[in-house]
Amino acid sequence: MILTVTPNPSLDRTYEVPALDRGEVLRATAERMDPGGKGVNVSRAVAAAGRRTVAVLPLGGAPGALVAELLAEQGIEVVPVPVAGATRSNIALAEPDGTLTKINAPGPELTAAESEALLSTIRERIHATGTRADGPGGASGEDASGDAFSPDAPSPDAEPSTPTWIACCGSLPRGLAPEWYAELVARAHRAGARIALDTSGPSLLAALRERPDVVKPNAEELAEAVGRPLTTVGDAVKAAEELRTYGAGSVLASLGADGQLLVSAEGTYFGSATVASVRSNVGAGDASLAGFLAAGGEGPAALASAVAHGAAAVQLPGSVMPSPGDLDLSAVTVTADVPLDRLLTEPAP
C-alpha cells in the first residue's frame, strides 16, 4: 500500500487547442478536469493498476469537494484535512505538438493549526493502515486484473498491511515553512515508514538532513539543488551523487526526453524508452514515481517500471495516468553503462 501526501492539491482543467495565439479567442478541441497535485497523481497511477492507495491532502471550498469526489470515483481512499481556504484551480493549454502552457494558482494559506492537523493526520493514517491487510483496491488478499506495475513487482497477496511507501510530493502552500517536509520525514521515519520525496528548492534541501529514502528531482530541480548547470548525463550523475552526500538514500532523476537516472548505494543506472508521440507531459514524472515505488523502490527493475510509466503517461491526454495496458516494457532500456558524455536535449540552467 502506498500512502501519498499532497500539501498543495489542485483541481486541474486541461484544454487542447490548435495553437496558442496570444490575445486571440481560443476554441478548445477537447477538455478534461482532473484532481491534481503530484501526490494525487501518484495515487491515481497506483489506483489505475488496481492497488490500494490512500491520499492525504488539505481540502477546502467547492474545488476541494470536487477533488475529493473525482478521486473517490477512481477508487482512491481520500483522507481530507479541512482547511478554511479554497483548494486552488489550475489551467493547462495543450497544443498538438506537445507544447504545454500551464497556469498554476498559488493555493490557500494554511494556518499553524491546519499545518499540525495535516502532520497529525498523516501519523494517524500510518498507524491505521497497519490494522488490516490490503490487496488491490482494498480487497484483502484478492487478486485483480492488471495488478502489477512490472514483472518484478511483489504479488498482491504479499502486500504488507502497513504503508510500503509514503510519497510526499509537490510544492508547499503558503503558510508552511520550507522545513515542513523535514518534519514530516522525521515523523514518518519514527513510525517506521519509508519516504519518497518529490519537491524542490529550499524544501528539498531542508528535508535532506532527515535522510529521505528516495528523492525525485527533474533536471532543472537537480541543477537548482547543487547550484550549477547540467549539460550532460554525467553532470546529472554527479549532481545526484552530491544529493546523496547531503542525505538522500537514492536519487531518481527525470531527464525529460533523455530518460531517467537512478543513483543509489547499489549502483548507478540509466533508463530510456521509445515514445511514438508526446500528447501531454502533465503528471508524467508522478506516474514514473508511482511505477518506481510499486516495483519495490530500488534497483534497475524499479527504474524500468518508472521509465515505462513515464513513457506511457506522455502519450495520454491531460493528466491521465497509465493503466497496465498502456505500459510497454519492451520499449524500455535500462543499463549500468551510463552514457556520461551524452548531451541533454534540454540542458538545465
Q: Is 95 left (phi over 0), alpha (psi -120 to 50) or beta?
A: beta
Q: Which amino acid is at 102?
A: K
pTM of the model: 0.86
Closest CA to 222 of 254, 195, 247, 245: 254
The answer to whether 34 is a known catalytic residue is no
Q: Is 65 helix (H, G, I), strand (E, B) or coil?
A: helix
Beta carbons within 8 Å of 138's beta carbon, 6+ residues apart: 52, 77
pLDDT, average across residues 143-167:
47
pLDDT, average across residues 98-114:
92
Q: What angle do CA 276, 281, 284 make, to 5 degrees?
A: 95
Q: What angle do CA 162, 240, 201 make, to 5 degrees?
A: 80
pLDDT of residue 329: 94
Beta carbons within 8 Å of 139's beta carbon, 6+ residues apart: none
pLDDT of residue 317: 81
Q: Residue 49 above 50 pLDDT?
A: yes
pLDDT, average across residues 76-101:
93
Q: How far is residue 144's CA from residue 1's CA, in Å, rounded to a whole number?
A: 15
pLDDT, average across residues 98-116:
93
pLDDT in tens, 175-212: 999 999 999 999 999 988 999 999 999 999 999 999 99
Residue whose grid cell is 528531482: 217
Report, at the CATH architecture level, how domain 2-348 is classified.
3-Layer(aba) Sandwich (3.40)
Q: What percent of the chain has pLDDT over 70?
A: 90
pLDDT of residue 143: 33
Q: Are strands 214-215 and 2-5 parallel, antiparallel or unpaired?
A: unpaired
pLDDT of residue 134: 37
Beta carbons within 8 Å of 275's beta carbon, 6+ residues apart: 257, 311, 314, 315, 331
> In whole angstroms, how far apart are CA 293 and each of 32, 62, 153, 332?
27, 32, 9, 17
314-341 burial, b for 16+ CB within 10 Å, e for fewer? bbbebbbbbbbebbbbeebebeeebeee
Q: Residue 145 above 60 pLDDT?
A: no
The kind and range of the H/E element at 292 are helix 284-294
CA 213 from chain centre, in angstroms, equals 15
164 vs 22 pLDDT, higher one: 22
Q: Where are the domains of the chain?
A: 2-348
- Average pLDDT, whole number, for the chain? 89
Q: Residue 310 above 50 pLDDT?
A: yes
Report residue 196 as a C-alpha cell: 519518497
pLDDT of residue 32: 86
Residue whose grid cell is 477533488: 67
295 vs 152 pLDDT, higher one: 295
Q: How far is residue 232's CA from residue 261's CA, in Å, rounded to a whole number?
A: 12
Looking at 286, 326, 328, 337, which residue is catalytic? 286
Q: Which amino acid is at 150?
A: S
